[in-house]
Structure 1
Amino acid sequence: MSTLAQWAPAVLALVLVASPGIWRLSRNTITIAHEGGHALVALLTGRRLEGIKLNSDTSGVTVSSGRPTGIAVVLMYLAGYVTPSLLGLGAAALVTAEQVRPLLWATVGLLAAMLIMIRNLFGVLSVVATGAVMFAVSWYATAEWQAAFALFVAWFLLLGGVRPVGELQRRRMRGRAPDSDADQLARITRVPGLFWVLVFATTTIGALLLGGRMLLPL
Structure 2
Amino acid sequence: MAAEPWRGAARTILLAVSVAGLFPPVAALFEASMRSHLLVQMPLLAFCGGYWVYRSPPLKRWLERVDPSGYIALVVGSGWFIYWMLPISLDLATFDPGIRLLKIVTVPVCVGAALTWSWLRLGPIGRGVMLLEGWAILGRLGWVYLISPVQLCSNYLIDDQQRTGSLLLGAALISAVGIALWAVFGPFRKPHRTEQE
Same fold by TM-score, threshold 0.5 exceeded?
Answer: no
TM-score normalised over the length of structure 1: 0.35
Q: Flag the structure with higher strand content.
A: 1
